[in-house]
Structure 1
Amino acid sequence: MPASNAWNINYLTLFFKRDLLLCNEHLVSVTMAEYDESWRESDLTVLFLSGAPLKNLSWEGIVDISTVQGQEKLLHSTILHNTCTQFPLDAEYRRKFLKKVIDAVESCNTEVCEELYTSYVDCLTEASTKSEFSYKSYYLHSIRKYVTLMESSIFLCSGTTGLTTWQGAKVLADWCIRNKALFTNKRIIELGAGIGLSGIIVVKSCDPLSYVFTDYHDKVLKILNYNVGLNFSELPVIHTDNSEILNDSLMLPSRFVSGRTDISVDRIDWTDEYGLNAVMKDSGVFDVILAADVVFEPSIICSLVQTLSNIMHVANQANTRCVAYVAVAVRNRETFNQFCEELTLKSFQFQELEISLPCMFYIDPIFTVKLLKIVLDTMKS
């Protein structure tokens, strides 16, 4: 299927009708008859905890909300799930979900259980003092664990778009999981890591030798550093008030370890070659560059491509073939074309890679996401 048409497919239909389930790092064939009640319930939980649009959440055929037991089961699979109580989603999102459930129960001329009403009142109170930040959790079937991130519910926050998870990051993470061998034992740097979804998933799923998360904006780096610590520290500090994170000073690079993977968070200004060289001097040569949702503003494209060039030239001098994988949600065709033209001018070779469907993370179908493999043409450079 052409990538340009890939996301014009109803995600939820694919999600429940797929015939492959990623489990224990192997693809195991299953039939629809083998989709038992508990498995489907688990997938409703997965969609809910990742903050998927409410219109895509359905409990029909999963629980019977006309009974008190069914309502309680639905609550404990979503609002009262352990992950949601420890890392709560946006209060307004939870309130709207509960209102949807209550309306559905009442339309059946059925009594709404006390626990459902209590949860709704709690969310009403919490939503009245709305916080800028909340949590979303993304399930990794291969390790049967969640990656949890603090992120902003506001598209443009504090002068940056880097405080929320964009579509390209989900596509890149999904593709990396499916192509694990390309990243195992590799030294990886991520440009414009944002709040960290792609990189955290790659470290947890692909066993790289090292991983360097980079960004530039102060607030993005603080939230990124918190999220990396939340997922990799032995005793993570859990915050419900983001002001504690944003007001703390941050010493970079910060370092973590996951198994045998060395992890660091650092600052890179794409217009500052000296700063980039300092990061490479500290971390060494890179085998892989990852980036998602970094091609959206024409004014930064030249600096981005120059940064790719600088990293790859250093690797080339060390006889290392460095490869970049860049996921782009194409919102403006002219901007994407400018990126491709700049790659050609800087002696890069690039190709569009096939994206597998369905993606294991919810993707907004209105976006076209392209994934490019980029290498330096050593004959021209």
Structure 2
Amino acid sequence: MSRIDTLLCRLQDIKFESMQQDVVAATIRNEILQKKPLPNSYIMNFMKVFMSKIEEFGGEISEVTFEAYGDILTKPVSEITYKHYDVKGVSISLQENNTLIAEGTTGLKTWQASQRMAEYLVDDCSLLKDKHVLELGAGLGLLGLTVCSLCNCGSYLLSDHHSSVLHKLQRNIAENSNNLLCIPSVVDIDWEEVSQNGFTNSLKEKIQCVDVVLAADVVYDVKIIQPLVQTLLLIIEIMKEEGKIFVASTIRNEATYESFLKELDKHGLVSNEITKHHLNYLFMIRQPT
């Protein structure tokens, strides 16, 4: 190898090393991720792909990269991690659990239908402009926080029931409040309780102002379908006459979804499927809904 070739190889190594330092600093060592960490499994997968790409392009994995990888291997797994979203230039960070079911609820994890509904609504914010919105089964708040970041709602009421979900929902609102056009409020709505005893007077007052009801990924268990539909019926009685209800579902079980449609039909509620093929996707990780 000539001296010039050796020099060029050295420059290439320096380039790869500098690039690795920049990437590690911007990702694994990022200040935000130090305070609000991603799941270990996600970071591990990222590092594996990153290192394989370095080798694929003829580079050597630097000490900085190896050190970062080693830190991940020895880092204890945390049940509480964050997901970070960049939605049309607005940053949204959500604290959530890694497991599908935690503390007896599915509400401590973000689900796909909320992403799809957010994309649909943000694609045409006129649907919610100056509207008073109630969201059922808000979970960790991705849908509500996305809408409140990009659409000028009149007001936004996030509801759920599990105490841990409500606590994290309040926390997620507080952590993202600087980016919100409309600061949502949180209320406890228990569909079982409502279906049996109706709404309290204070909730009735709030619902009387509602123009739009949103519900994403709430049709997942046949046991909750009857109280959910009963709750919707009571909301329809109270909300504004020209109000609209949007429900987004990930079809995991056809029978469960059919049960929901039959329960709607049983009470004379007509559902219209919305088909919109050319949405602007806001979220990178997608599954069919």
Fold-level similarity (TM above 0.5)? yes
From 154, 161, 165, the counterpart of 1:209: 154
The AA in structure 1 aligned to 2:48 is K
Partner of 2:283: 361
- Which string of whole-angstrom CA distances, capped at 9 and with x for unpartnered residues, describes residues 321-369 of structure 1? 111111100011111111111112222222111233452213444x3x1
1:271-290 aligned at under 5 Å gives the runs 271-273=192-194, 274=197, 276-277=199-200, 278-282=202-206, 284-290=208-214
Aligned identity (percent) is: 32
Partner of 1:296: 220
TM-score of the two chains, using structure 2 as the length reference: 0.86
**Are the counterparts in 2 of residues 65 and 105 from structure 1 also a CA contact under 8 Å?**
no
Distance 1:82 1:275, change over 3 A: farther
- What 5-or-longer segments of structure 1 have no aligned partner? 1-63, 235-257, 370-381
Structure-2 separation of matches of 1:276 and 1:324: 18
The answer to whether 1:125 aligns with 2:74 is: yes
Aligned alpha-carbon RMSD (Å)? 2.3
The answer to whether 1:149 aligns with 2:94 is: yes
Q: Which runs of 4+ in 1 moved over 4 A?
A: none
How many Å apart are 1:284 and its aligned residue?
Answer: 4.1
1:44-63 aligned at under 5 Å gives the runs none
Structure-1 separation of matches of 2:56 and 2:85: 32
The answer to whether 1:309 aligns with 2:258 is: no
Query: Across the two proteins, how many residue pairs are aligned to each other?
Result: 273
Structure-1 separation of matches of 2:113 and 2:91: 19
Structure-2 separation of matches of 1:275 and 1:89: 40
Partner of 2:6: none
**Are the counterparts in 2 of residues 195 and 224 from structure 1 also a CA contact under 8 Å?**
yes
More strand by share: 1
More helix by share: 2
Structure-1 separation of matches of 2:186 and 2:220: 23
From 81, 91, 95, the counterpart of 1:134: 81
How many Å apart are 1:298 and its aligned residue?
Answer: 0.7
TM-score of the two chains, using structure 1 as the length reference: 0.66
**Are the counterparts in 1 of residues 133 and 157 from structure 2 also a CA contact under 8 Å?**
yes
Query: Who wins on radius of gyration, i.e. which is larger?
Result: 2
Structure-1 separation of matches of 2:83 and 2:188: 24
How many Å apart are 1:65 and its aligned residue?
Answer: 11
The answer to whether 1:177 aligns with 2:101 is: no
Partner of 2:242: 321
The answer to whether 1:221 aligns with 2:145 is: no
The AA in structure 1 aligned to 2:40 is A
2:53 partner SS: helix
- What 5-or-longer segments of structure 2 have no aligned partner? 1-12
**Are the counterparts in 2 of residues 137 and 146 from structure 1 also a CA contact under 8 Å?**
yes
The AA in structure 1 aligned to 2:175 is L
Structure-1 separation of matches of 2:206 and 2:232: 18
